[in-house]
Structure 1
Amino acid sequence: MSTDPIRVTDPAAITDTASMVLALNVFQRLMTAEPGESVLKPDAARDCLFTSSTTYTCTLNKKLYFHDGNPLTSSDVKFSIERAARLAISGSSTALLSSLRRIETPDPMTVRFVLSRVDTQFGWALASPAASIVDQHTYDADEVRPPSAPIIGSGPFTVSSFHGKELRLERYRNYVGRNPARMNSLVYRTAPDSASIEEAMSKRSVDVVWRGLNAAAITRFRQRAARSSDERTADGYRMRELTGVRIHELEWAPESPMRPNKALRQAVTAALQEDRTLDSILPGGVPGHVSSLPVGGRAAPKVTWSNRIQLTLAYDPTMPDGRDIATQIRTRLEDTGGLSVRVRPEESNADLILVDRKAWTATALAWLQPYLEAPLPASKAAVARAERDYRSTTDDAEATKHLVFLQTQAAQDGVVLPLSQGEEYLFAREGVDVNENSFGPGWQLGLFGMKSG
């Protein structure tokens, strides 16, 4: 159970972490990785490797089938990735495929990706949701598949039903890949708020809780578990803490008329310094991270305009503590004396957007994506050049140099502001085992690693 709703069921169109849960468990990609790790592992592929500086070749596993019984071949891989590139959904992981020139399928088991330039990071693009493999005989090449349509992948689970707030899954017995399901069936339910999840836990009507509990509830459960000899809550749940995997950012909407105002951006950045615990858009622990923004202490935002500027701050109401965090941000901004901020849930015309995100994979490029997609116009050429040079180099020192530049430039531009890096929590009822690898490459929830005793 979670407050994270599955909004999108077509993997090529996924832009949010919750919908990635569906993609991770129902669809396959050629490659994957252990949670938070920087080494690629094969999934639908038997292996993938560079056969030249601009050719990445994958060999598929044998006996791959979609949930509808159709065989999965290299032709489906080509269709799926070309389809994702064609749809080019803003905010999806399609941007990671930017170096792709064409796809060749010399036989049903072989996929050859021909790149337009050297791109050492291309394998990671094939581990992202936009690279999920769909059945070419079922999915439209030019349209996003609506949630009401059948959801057909080749992953560890098949979808028996999906009705907005409830996803029912069955173990796919013909699955061939890295993450076979440990349970025959399970249900992913979306709850409206933290109180609803607490009530379900008190009734023991839920086995696993992933996100959704607010800070007060987590504190209560932690205190109760600390007093227990078996480290469980009074209702029999064990808390698992995932350190440093929850990231909050504040993004300037690219279409905001206030975004080009440099003095305003600098004032917003300074106003949030006291509460900031993350000093770069690249989180701590990700290779290449470098401190690029001050954290803590007393900042002095400079208000150089005479009349208060009106801003709108949007947040996702399903985000744990989302309203409280957004309200705290408003307080800091209004304390400058030069801003008035309206806080609105899911406001499409907002100037600022509070984001609770996970990268598609635990790579620098995936974390940098929101900035790389929308830098300031004056920085665009230099940012694009640094990204291209980072992708092309095989020298660690050279790669770090480019990452330092990108993080520093992002801090100067101030259009994607890191706020905090904290913990994510999972609660499992007594008798339920969630193994250590029950997560995706970017710490998305993997239902395949769960088992009820």
Structure 2
Amino acid sequence: MNRKTLVLPALAGLLAPALAACGSSDGTGSGGSPIVVGVASQIEATKEAPAPLDPAAAYDIDAWNVLRSAFQTLMRVPRSGTAPVPEAAESCGFRDTQNEQYRCTLRSGLKFSNGHALTATDVKFSIDRLRTINYTNGPVSLLNDVDRVETPSDREVVFHLTKPDATFPQKLATPAAAIVDSQVYPKNALYKGWETVGSGPYTLKTEHGGDRLSKADFTKNPEYKGGLTVKNDKVEMRFFDDSADMEQALRKGQIDLLSRGLTPKQVKGLQNSGDKHLMLQEMPGQEIRYLAFNTNDPAVSNKAVRQAIAQVVNRSQLVRDVYSYTADPLYSLVPTGVTGHINSFFTKYGNPNVAAARQTLQQAGINTPVKFTLTYSKNHYGSSTAKEFAALQQQLNSSKLFDVTIKGIDRWQQFRTDESDHKYAAFGMGWFADLPDADNYLAPFVGKGNFLNSPYRNDKIESQLIPGTRQQTDRNAAAAGFKQVQDILADDVPFLPLWQGKQYVAARDNITGVEWAVNSTSALQIWELGRGVSS
């Protein structure tokens, strides 16, 4: 998902007493005005992406945060920790030693928001539909290893996988596996527009202006049957064009909480605001940013060019000058804190070294300066992105080895479509993990049907290393295979990791449950929020 951050359980436990003390009530949030959550991003319905809230198409963090509250999945990631637990399912588990057959039993009495019964038929329909539609830029790659789905009874679902996959329970916890009503959603086409029919903890109504979602109203679903405890009656999600406007709305009490999108300057301002009615919490994060290369583009098709770029880029300068240390340098697609991480890019290239980059290019017989364009999304990842790419341009051009221009794209869906169509030589992307496992920072980026539609291929990664790690139920045992993948990517440089973000949650002091506002996949857990008493 170009989407998702890790809130460590130990840290959440330490934060809980301090946060709970601010709003001394039962935290139920029942009655009264809705809890208002701000989002500094846009969800759009466009010609390229006409169904932004259809689980078969949605694949970014903001849309997924909407879907998680409106739909159920068989499994879910708990409020803390990483091991998935049953949600629409009563129980789930592998039924063979090879991790190739996964069986779930549904809870009894499940219903969609329109009153229709939710049965195993709907689960099978939802998975089959995702794979049949096979939407470009959608989340179908997460469930590519499903061979077939069987429904022995109305409450039993059996997944047969084409190959072992110990991460399959975690994939069933993502909105890619959201259960839709087979009587409403078309089998072979997207459900266009803004309406949803789900069975999640909330019913959803939306407001939109033109092709943009402006507000999402969540109302506690009285028919919900799942594993969550919903601690409020209503939540309103408002979408802002600008993080500065969102911050001002928080300061004025027009919104109650925001979980991402703040610029480094705003983070510092909130830390030093002196406003006793605001609280800002820093949490460890697993959001990553990276450059991706079209390895078929003549400008960067030679591996030596990409290696030289890796030798010039100064990550420490980026996180200092652009992000004011609200991020940390990253030397692998797998962030620190995730089992299997190694600093493969630092091991291979060390600190920035222009002389070494020059030698790399000379040995490959490449004339300098190498000319290409770095492309980025102007608004999807926040207003600091433009400054970041200006800094990258300066670093590369000052080496005299490159002649780089930068180009910002206004509309996110246009950016994603053009990237997938291989129109960019090099471009910037971010990633929030779909699931808290090293597999999800590696497997989506390689092989046929990969998330970026990247032409990069490596047979050892695709046919040996990733399949081997997926046979390991003990994820610590998979670390050796993950390390090999990271070393190969550091040598081939189809992607260049830049930095790993920290997670910030800002809220009014009368909001309870802030310590559980995001889980280990950076999913926004609005059901944990309540309204207490201002200090």
Do they fold alike, i.e. is TM over 0.5?
Answer: yes
Q: Which one-letter code corresponds to 1:299 in the other structure?
A: N
Query: Which residue number corresponds to residue 352 of structure 2?
Result: 298
Q: Unaligned 5+ residue runs, structure 1? A: 226-232
Query: Which residue number corresponds to residue 192 of structure 2?
Result: 146
Pairing 1:112–2:158 present:
yes
Asked whether the equivalents of residues 208 and 428 of structure 1 are also in contact (C-alpha less than 8 Å), the reply is yes
Asked whether the equivalents of residues 288 and 364 of structure 1 are also in contact (C-alpha less than 8 Å), the reply is yes
SS of residue in 2 equivalent to 1:224: coil
| Residues 123/89 of structure 1: CA separation in 2 closer, same or farther (3 Å cut) | same
| Residues 419/223 of structure 1: CA separation in 2 closer, same or farther (3 Å cut) | same
Pairing 1:323–2:372 present:
no
Q: Deviation at 1:377?
A: 4.6
| Residues 421/431 of structure 1: CA separation in 2 closer, same or farther (3 Å cut) | same
Deviation by residue 1:325-345 (Cα, 9 ceiling, x = unmatched): 222222222223222222312
Rounded to whole Å, the distance in 2 between the matches of 1:332 and 1:36 is 40
Query: Which residue number corresponds to residue 399 of structure 2?
Result: 336
Q: How many residues align?
A: 444
SS of residue in 2 equivalent to 1:238: strand
Pairing 1:241–2:262 present:
no
Q: Deviation at 1:82?
A: 0.9
Asked whether the equivalents of residues 507 and 514 of structure 2 are also in contact (C-alpha less than 8 Å), the reply is no
| Residues 307/186 of structure 1: CA separation in 2 closer, same or farther (3 Å cut) | same
Asked whether the equivalents of residues 250 and 257 of structure 2 are also in contact (C-alpha less than 8 Å), the reply is no
Query: Which residue number corresponds to residue 19 of structure 1?
Result: 63
Rounded to whole Å, the distance in 2 between the matches of 1:378 and 1:71 is 44
Normalised TM-score (structure 2): 0.78
Rounded to whole Å, the distance in 1 between the matches of 2:256 and 2:512 is 10
Q: Deviation at 1:324?
A: 1.7
Query: Which residue number corresponds to residue 105 of structure 2?
Result: 59
Query: Which residue number corresponds to residue 160 of structure 1?
Result: 205
SS of residue in 2 equivalent to 1:445: coil
Query: Which residue number corresponds to residue 167 of structure 2?
Result: 121
Asked whether the equivalents of residues 371 and 415 of structure 1 are also in contact (C-alpha less than 8 Å), the reply is no
Deviation by residue 1:125-154 (Cα, 9 ceiling, x = unmatched): 211221111001111111122234x21111
Asked whether the equivalents of residues 281 and 505 of structure 2 are also in contact (C-alpha less than 8 Å), the reply is yes
Pairing 1:272–2:272 present:
no
| Residues 116/291 of structure 1: CA separation in 2 closer, same or farther (3 Å cut) | same
Query: Which residue number corresponds to residue 483 of structure 2?
Result: 404
* 300-309 or 236-245, larger mean C-alpha shift: 300-309
Q: Deviation at 1:397?
A: 6.4
What is the alpha-carbon root mean square deviation over aligned residues?
2.2
Q: Deviation at 1:398?
A: 5.0
| Residues 24/357 of structure 1: CA separation in 2 closer, same or farther (3 Å cut) | same
SS of residue in 2 equivalent to 1:448: helix
| Residues 63/435 of structure 1: CA separation in 2 closer, same or farther (3 Å cut) | farther
Pairing 1:258–2:302 present:
no
- 1:404-443 paired onto structure 2 within 5 Å: 404-443=483-522
Deviation by residue 1:207-250 (Cα, 9 ceiling, x = unmatched): 1122222111110111224xxxxxxx35x211121212332222
Query: Which residue number corresponds to residue 229 of structure 1?
Result: none
Q: Deviation at 1:443?
A: 1.1
| Residues 438/158 of structure 1: CA separation in 2 closer, same or farther (3 Å cut) | same
SS of residue in 1 equivalent to 2:480: helix
| Residues 181/309 of structure 1: CA separation in 2 closer, same or farther (3 Å cut) | same
Asked whether the equivalents of residues 4 and 211 of structure 1 are also in contact (C-alpha less than 8 Å), the reply is no
- 1:8-87 paired onto structure 2 within 5 Å: 8-34=52-78, 37-52=81-96, 53=98, 54-87=100-133
Q: Which one-letter code corresponds to 2:344 in the other structure?
A: S
* 178-187 or 16-25, larger mean C-alpha shift: 178-187
Query: Which residue number corresponds to residue 243 of structure 2?
Result: 194
Query: Which residue number corresponds to residue 357 of structure 1?
Result: 431
Identity %: 25
* 43-52 or 189-198, larger mean C-alpha shift: 189-198
Q: Which one-letter code corresponds to 1:281 in the other structure?
A: L
Asked whether the equivalents of residues 212 and 318 of structure 1 are also in contact (C-alpha less than 8 Å), the reply is no
Asked whether the equivalents of residues 313 and 342 of structure 1 are also in contact (C-alpha less than 8 Å), the reply is yes
| Residues 218/274 of structure 1: CA separation in 2 closer, same or farther (3 Å cut) | closer
Asked whether the equivalents of residues 3 and 319 of structure 1 are also in contact (C-alpha less than 8 Å), the reply is no
Which gives a bigger RCO, structure 1 or 2 (Cα 8 Å, sep 6+)? 2
Rounded to whole Å, the distance in 1 between the matches of 2:475 and 2:233 is 44
Deviation by residue 1:164-187 (Cα, 9 ceiling, x = unmatched): 121111111111112243221121
Q: Which one-letter code corresponds to 1:3 in the other structure?
A: A
Query: Which residue number corresponds to residue 228 of structure 1?
Result: none
SS of residue in 2 equivalent to 1:419: strand
Runs of 4 or more, structure 1, over 6 Å off, are none
Rounded to whole Å, the distance in 1 between the matches of 2:178 and 2:106 is 14
SS of residue in 2 equivalent to 1:86: helix
Deviation by residue 1:297-322 (Cα, 9 ceiling, x = unmatched): 33223343235412132124142322
Q: Which one-letter code corresponds to 1:383 in the other structure?
A: E
Normalised TM-score (structure 1): 0.91
Query: Which residue number corresponds to residue 230 of structure 1?
Result: none
Asked whether the equivalents of residues 338 and 437 of structure 2 are also in contact (C-alpha less than 8 Å), the reply is yes
Q: Unaligned 5+ residue runs, structure 2? A: 1-37, 45-51, 319-328
* 307-316 or 3-12, larger mean C-alpha shift: 307-316
Pairing 1:130–2:180 present:
no
Rounded to whole Å, the distance in 2 between the matches of 1:249 and 1:27 is 31
